[in-house]
Amino acid sequence: MHPLVLHSLPPAPIDSSFPPTPKPYSTLSPLPHNSFATTIRELKTAKLHGFAASASPSNPKTKTQKQDDDYHTTLKALNSKGRFPRRSLGQHYMLNGSINEQLVGAADVKEGDVVLEIGPGTGSLTNVLVNVGAAVLAIEKVLQEDFTRCHIRSHMSLIMEGRSFVESQRAKVVANIPFNISTDVVKQLLPMGDMFSEVVLLLQEEAALRLVDPSLRSSEYRPINIFVNFYSDPEYKFKVPRTNFFPQPKVDAAVVAFRLKQALDYPRVSSTKSFFSMVNSAFNGKRKMLRKTLQHICPPTEIEAALSEVGFQTTSRPEELALEDFVKLHNLISKP
């Protein structure tokens, strides 16, 4: 039994709304065995719609052989699979094994944890996860049109059902993902706080900083920032210089840990769908006043009154409001 590769179903229209809507089922098939794709045996095989899921080594004391993640080892692994990194798709492979160890450490992965890895590549990060005793579900082929169609919840439920967990225990996500799908990954995973406790991602540094600590009244403040803080507590962990990747990107990277909230901890809104619809509408007219961008929800006079009640001027713009301010505004102007 081998680690798994995910093949998505035929393309469907991409939903870019907040929060993301459920995607169609996908199918799984095994990767060819090689030294980088560690076999995973501990978890009993579970079947759903014809695919199998598996986890960490049957003997937790047996460690997989550690590879030297230098340039030549990575290139050899890629050649053995007939793969060629494509910069246009944001594909950059890790050369430094210590970075993988720090990535796993940032998620505080322990023996017995269930971990979702997105885009295992040469398997160097997978090896580190397995070596600490984690049960790993690795999803391959993580281009935008593939990942956004993965039915992650179904696959993870299958894994979780095959293990003995206390009711409160949740899985984790640890991944070095292509830079150009980072927003899609964040949008898909962060609302899954009932299943994941931590989502630790290696991202383009600029994106990492923008997601974790955006400044109000700046051009970097966007709906994704409201989304991230609604569903999680993000933390910038450490910077990863571009020299640690092949091919070397033009920018540095950074690791961000998102500690996911559970439903009881979400800000209180009457409807998350209408809340994020309002947030998106508010930012549609960047630099436009909220009384104009939200007038399809209620008359401008009601929006002005709500803004005053929240403590803002009637001429306020979206980049002036923090998450809690948007929550208060939504609860004042949304219709039951």
pTM listed for this prediction? 0.77
Cross-strand partners of 198: 172, 259
- Closest Cα partner for 173 from 139, 191, 152, 196? 196
Q: What is the pLDDT of residues 36-66, one digit of tens each?
A: 233 232 332 222 222 223 344 444 444 554 5
104 within 8 A of 174, measured Cβ to Cβ: yes
**Secondary structure of residue 176 in the 3-state scheme:** strand
CA atoms within 13 A on the CB side of 96: 11
Q: Is residue 258 helix, strand or coil?
A: strand
Average pLDDT, rounded, for the chain: 76
Going along the chain from its start, the domains and CATH numbers come out as 4-265 (3.40.50.150), 272-333 (1.10.8.100)
Return d(Cα 122, Cα 106) in angstroms, integer. Answer: 21
Length of the chain measured in residues: 336
CA–CA separation, 302 and 83 (whole Å): 57
pLDDT of residue 282: 95
Q: How far is CA 280 from the centre of its chain?
A: 20
Does residue 191 contact residue 231 with C-beta atoms inside 8 Å?
A: yes
**Nearest one of 94, 87, 99 to 71, comparing CA atoms:** 94
The arithmetic mean of pLDDT across residues 12-31, rounded, is 36
Q: Is a pLDDT exceeding 50 seen at residue 7?
A: no
pLDDT at 89: 55
The binding site for S-adenosyl-L-methionine comprises 92, 94, 119, 140, 176
Strand, helix or coil for residue 225: helix
Residue 266 or 219, more confident? 266
132-169: per-residue pLDDT in tens? 999 998 887 655 455 656 678 877 877 777 665 555 58
Q: Which residues pair with 215 in a beta bridge?
A: none
Helical H segments across 54-179, by residue range: 71-80, 97-106, 124-131, 144-147, 152-161
Binding residues: 92, 94, 119, 140, 176
> What is the number of H-type helices and E-type strands within the chain?
12, 12
The confidence score (pLDDT) of residue 33 equals 33
